[in-house]
Every structure is written in structure tokens, then in C-alpha cells.
Structure 1
Amino acid sequence: MPYEPPTHTVERSLRATTGAKIIAGVDEVGRGAWAGPVTVCAAVTGLRRPPEGLTDSKLITPKRRAALAAELETWVTSHALGHASPEEIDDLGMTAALRLAAVRALDGLPVRPDAVILDGKHDYLGVPWRVRTVIKGDQSCVAVAAASVIAKVRRDALMAELGLESAAFEPYAFAENAGYPSPVHKAALHELGPTPFHRLSWAYLDAMPRWRHLKKVRISVEAAALEGGGQLGFDF
């Protein structure tokens, strides 16, 4: 099914109404996973014509997505990734963890953006950033679509690497499911329990009597997220 290609309409609107010159598209991946970090990419693209076939990463085949991500990483003006670890997600909750990862990504850009286009309807970034939220921005906005593809490919590769760190992690099939729910992943959890890469505040543990005692009750430390300088649990 063909999709309308993303445009620079939102970027042009922000330039005209706010005077913003450097605009970053921001998208996340890993929000619904049982294991691994939540990853955010910030991408600055300018107003150049994007590579052919750019759209939301979920609408692209894995093979094409990997090739497109490699092309995008040299095509974009700049990009950076930020991660929030499973431990940070457990401690902070997903909204604050998303903000932490997004701030890390934006801080990683060589120049601070004048404005940010955030995929979705909820602004999890907030002040002092100038944010424009766009529902399905990963399909309609060039910068957000680029961020979507790069974030997805980089996080998938990270999860595959984690799965290869030890033979003990092979049953979870991280290379195939990237830490998301799947029959194989669920079966491994029932049999072997969570790894150091799993989120222990997630509800999947409620259905696993053998491992339910490991579930964490989150005590919010929002202030830690606002600092944006917490340490990751793994070497991402």
C-alpha cells in the first residue's frame, strides 16, 4: 500500500511563525518493550528533499529500513541518540524516562535546536524546549520520519548485540523481537526469569508466579530525569 511521502510543511510553519532556523525532529522506539532501553533520536534535516521511500519506520521492511537508515545518517544535517535504561524506566516511569532520553539526544546535537517537532499528541519534553507535537509525525514530517528510522534501526542493533553477550540470553531471542513481547520471549521469561536487561516494573511479571517477587514498585524520582545526567545501566 503506497503512503504519502513526508513533507517539510511543519518545519516551514515553525520557521514562519516562530523564526526557528534549526528544527529537530524527535521520535522514540522501545516504549512498549519488556526489555532494553527506550531510545530517542533527534534529527535535523533542513529543507532538502529526503531520500526516496522515507516514512514511518514501522511501515518499512527490515531490509529496506536498514539501508535507509545508513543513507539517512549521512544525509541529515545532524542527528544524535539518547537512551534511558531499564533501571531508569523502572525508577522514573515511562514519561520521565522518555524525557530523559530525549534530552540526552537533543544535548548530543552539535547545535541546540530552536524548535522540536515531537511525534504524537503528548509533549513529554516540556520547557525550556519549544515543542510542536504532531500526530503521526513519523509519517508526515521529514525530520521526524528520519528520526524514526534511525532510532528503530539503531535500537534493534543494540538489542541484537545484547542478546549475543552470553549464551544465557539466547533463549529470549532479542535479535528477533528487540525486547518486545513475543511467544518465544514470553516462554523464556516463564522458564528462566528476567535478565539484567528487563524492566522489572512491567506488568508481565504479574502473570509469572515464579518471578513475581522481583517486580519493582516504582518510587518516582522525577528530579533525576530533569537533570538529564543520570547514568545508564549498560554501556549503550
Structure 2
Amino acid sequence: MPYEPPTHRVERSLRATTGAKVVAGVDEVGRGAWAGPVTVCAAVTGLRRPPEGLTDSKLVAPGRRTALAEELVEWVTAHALGHASAREIDELGMTAALRLAAVRALEALPVRPDAVILDGKHDYLGAPWRVRTVIKGDQSCVAVAAASVIAKVRRDALMARLGAEHAAFGFERNAGYPSPAHRAALAERGPTPHHRLSWSYLDALPRWRHMKRTRPGPTEQIGLF
């Protein structure tokens, strides 16, 4: 099925309505995984024509995705990544962990963005950042699509390195998501130090259920940042 290529429409709108000169696209990967960090990429692209085939990372074949990420790293004006570890996810909850990773990415850029295009409908970033949320922004916005591809490839590489340390879990193939091999290794060996211990998968593992941690509620997260 063909997809419409992403455009600079939202970026042009932000420039026209807010006076923003530097606009960053932001996307995350790893939100639904059982192990590993959540990773956020912030990418600044300007208004140049993007590499051929750019779209949401999930719609790009794995081999092409890796090559495309290499092209994008050279093509973008600037990019940076931020991670929130499994332990930080357990301690903060996913929304606050996403914000932590996104702030780390944005603050690592060589120039502070005047505005941010955030993939999805929920603004997990908030003040003081000027945010425009865009549903399916990773398909429709050039900067968000670039961030999507770079984040996916970089996190997959990170999980492959963790897979070398924990071969039974197949992280190099499943990136920490619940594949059959991952589930079987969890049942037999229990969680690694890279697993999220506040997640409900532990409820189905009687041998390891005692390791489960309680997630913080919304009131417990107030004042974290």
C-alpha cells in the first residue's frame, strides 16, 4: 500500500504563526517493550527535500531502515537522542519517563528549538517547550519521520548489544518486546536488570512475581520536573 510522503506543512505553519525559526520533530520508540529503555529522538531538518522513502519507521523494511537512518544522520541539520532506563520507567511511570527522555534529547541539540512537533495526540513534554502534537506525525511531518527512523535504528542497535549479554531473551530480534522466545526466557530465568519490573507481565510468572514493583500514581509524579 503506497503512503503519502511527509511534508513540511506543520513546520511552515509554526514558523508563520509563532515566528519559530528552529523547529524540532520528536518521536519515541520502546514505549510498549518489556525490557530496555524508552528512546526519544529530536531532529531538526529545516525545509529541505528529505531522502527518498522517508516515512514512519514501522513502515520501512528493516534493511532499508538502517540505510535510511545513516542517510538521515548526515542529512538532518541536527539530531540528538535521549533515553530513560527501565529503572527510571519503574520509578517515574511511563509519562514522566517519556518526558525525561525527550528533555534529554532536546537539551542535547546544539541549538534550542523554538517549537517542537510531537508525534501523537498527548503532550507529554509540556512547558516550557512550545509543543504542537500531530497524530501520525511520523507519517505526515518530515522532522518527526526522521526522528522516528533514527530512534528506531539506534534503539534496536542498543537492544542488540544487550542481547549479546542475555542471549536467551533474543533482544537482538525482538528489541525487548514480548516475542515467544522472550516470554519463554522470562518464565525460565526471570527478569534481567534491563526489564521493567512495574509491568503486568510479572503477574503471570509465579516464580518471579515477588520482583514486581508498584508504579507511581499521578499524584506521586507531581513535582518530578
Question: What TM-score range do you get, normalising by the shorter chain?
Answer: over 0.9
TM-score w.r.t. length of structure 2: 0.97
Counterpart residue identity of residue 29, structure 2? V
1:118 matched residue in structure 2: 118
CA distance in 2 between partners of 1:163 and 1:124 (Å)? 30
Identity over aligned pairs, percent: 80
3-state DSSP of counterpart to 1:123:
coil
Shift of 1:224: 7.3
Counterpart residue identity of residue 212, structure 1? R
Shift of 1:225: 4.5
Q: Deviations over 1:26-67 (max 9, x none)?
A: 000000000000000000000000000000000001000000
Unaligned runs of 5+ in 2: none
Q: Say if 1:84 and 1:98, in contact at 8 Å, map to a contact too.
A: yes
Counterpart residue identity of residue 51, structure 1? P
1:60 matched residue in structure 2: 60
CA distance in 2 between partners of 1:219 and 1:130 (Å)? 27
- Show the 5 A alignment for 1:1-236: 1-165=1-165, 169-219=166-216, 222=221, 225-226=224-225
Counterpart residue identity of residue 11, structure 2? E
Unaligned runs of 5+ in 1: 227-236
Q: Say if 1:99 and 1:225, in contact at 8 Å, map to a contact too.
A: no
CA distance in 2 between partners of 1:171 and 1:161 (Å)? 13
Counterpart residue identity of residue 43, structure 2? A
Distance 1:104 1:223, change over 3 A: farther
Q: Deviations over 1:108-144 (max 9, x none)?
A: 0000000000000000000000000000000000000
Shift of 1:164: 1.0
CA distance in 2 between partners of 1:211 and 1:224 (Å)? 32
3-state DSSP of counterpart to 1:210:
coil
Task: Work out the number of aligned pairs and report it.
Answer: 223
RMSD over aligned CA atoms reads 1.0
Counterpart residue identity of residue 222, structure 1? Q
TM-score w.r.t. length of structure 1: 0.93
Distance 1:104 1:58, change over 3 A: same
Counterpart residue identity of residue 45, structure 1? T
3-state DSSP of counterpart to 2:98:
helix
3-state DSSP of counterpart to 1:164:
helix
CA distance in 2 between partners of 1:214 and 1:99 (Å)? 26
3-state DSSP of counterpart to 1:117:
strand
Shift of 1:218: 2.5
3-state DSSP of counterpart to 1:5:
coil
